[in-house]
Amino acid sequence: MADVTTLRQAIMNSLPEQTSCFCATPDNLYLPPAHIKALRLDRHLVIGTRGVGKSVWTAALGNAELRKVLGSSVPELESTEVRIGFAETPGIDAYPDAETFAQLLGSGFSAYDVWRSVVARWVAGIAPADIPCASWVETATWIKNNPETLARLMEQVNQSFVSGNRYGLIVFDALDRSSNDWRTMDQIVRDLLRTALWLKSYPRLSTKIFLREDQYERTVTDFPDASKLMATRAELTWAPHDLHGLLWQALINGPDDHGRRLREVYRSALVPPRCDPSPSGRWLLHESVKRDTEAQRALFNTLAGPWMGRDKRRGVPYVWSVSHLADGKGRTSPRSFLAAIRQAAEDTEERYPDYPLALHYESIKRGIQKASEIRVNEMAEDYPWVRTFMAPLNGLTVPCDYPAILERWEQSFPAGPTSASIGLPPQHAERGWDGIREDLIRLGLFDVKKDDRIDMPDLYRVGFGLGRKGGVKPKG
């Protein structure tokens, strides 16, 4: 049993508890085949829900070492200089924060003026050129008053990239942090897209804008020639085989003896061995392990076995471990999956130390509790109102009729949803509780069954404390 105990320890040490930073190192950066298109320079608009990698790719693109790793799959990135034009991490010299943005808009500048000021500061550092940068008011004023000088500067920088056979890319992320008002944020996003369209006139200068689905679905593309930008759209999604590929990329690059032990498991499960180090010493998966193949399934079987119980009637761990972490739209985030696997190893060691495999099937089920906790916290970061309106539903059993949910909401907020103090509100709060219901369905927290009852995926149900007959229980 010492060997399987060592294997569980290796899994736990290769999957840190803080999985939010998991993909931000050269050793563990994993590029799913489906994401390659989104990172190409000709894809200016990238759409994705929470936890699919928008901020991870922003950080990777902005880091020269990580960009070099990505360059093996997206060669043009190796000859690209990158600037972050907006992100969750503060960078007041590169872009204004939400308060400064609000002040600029209140002073009569348009969001288009502000975004072009961000671009101007970027290219002025490349030329170099002397433009006022003591404050964002000064830069925005210069932009409005010097259109010809700006145009010449843009042409000069574009030509310098042509001469050096290089590219320039400016990346925008976390735009929900730009305002606490939907209409204001719509204008900010719309004018950013207009700025991206303006930059398309300069072939060597590109933008990449990461947007949440709800931001993209609003009226942010209702301006002339927006279709040219929409044609460059890419989506960030994670298929089940992408998640398993990410898992094994992390495991075989585990620290020290832990990584060596997991590489032994990897090699023993595959014939012939398919694991080679890169020149930098980073271990790479064989292509067959990046896709839904017998090789990938065999690998997970070495950890969890073939069944979620004593026979096939209970399901297959390889499939179950992903499908039961999906939201109402069938999407599973990498963060949730990695957290569930780590928790399953920890739970197995605590509850079933004599089990012959690294992951007990009951522990895989309990891994949902940890994944759900993480996912709920993530959702609350992006949509603070979700926790506010889900709290009254604690203890409810789903699936249930919508009136049962409505009754609890009305008891907790008799003045309606707009009476809650929640920062950026739900998109359709002005339509009352039916609007909240619609937003929860759109986000994948609610799922409407054929008989119109409201159901919830385990990923959210457990974390928000709702029950289900025969389902995984919420934490006590």
For residue 280, the model assigns a pLDDT of 66
Residues 459-473: tens digit of each pLDDT:
899 899 999 886 677
**Percentage of the chain surpassing pLDDT 70?**
95
85: helix, strand or coil: strand
Q: 454-455 and 447-448 as β-strands: parallel, antiparallel, unpaired? A: antiparallel
Beta bridge partners of 47: 211, 235
CA distance 322 to 368: 10
Residues 339-369: tens digit of each pLDDT:
999 999 999 999 999 999 999 999 999 998 8
Instruction: Return mean pLDDT, the chain.
Output: 90
Residue 104, token pair as written in the block: 């600029």
Task: Break the chain into its structural domains and give their ranges.
Answer: 2-15+239-379, 33-235, 383-461
Q: What value does the mean pLDDT take over residues 311-325? A: 87
Q: How confident is the model at residue 328 (pLDDT cuts 50, 70, 90)?
A: confident
Residues 53-99: tens digit of each pLDDT:
899 999 999 999 999 889 989 999 999 999 999 999 999 999 999 99
Could you tell me which residues come within 8 angstroms of residue 282 by beta carbon, excluding any fewer than 6 positions away?
A: 26, 27, 69, 253
Residue 408, token pair as written in the block: 């609890």
DSSP one-letter string for 325-364: T--TTS---HHHHHHHHHHHHHHHHHH-TT-SSSS-HHHH
CA distance 30 to 445: 27
CB 121 within 8 A of CB 94: yes
- Which carries the bigger pLDDT value, residue 444 or residue 19? 444
Q: How confident is the model at residue 21 (pLDDT cuts 50, 70, 90)?
A: very low
Q: Report the side by side order of strands in the sheet with 167-172.
A: 80-86, 167-172, 205-211, 45-47, 233-235
What residue type is assigned to position 307 of the chain? W
End-to-end Cα separation, the chain, in angstroms? 31
CA distance 456 to 449: 10
CATH of domain 33-235: 3.40.50
Beta bridge partners of 388: none
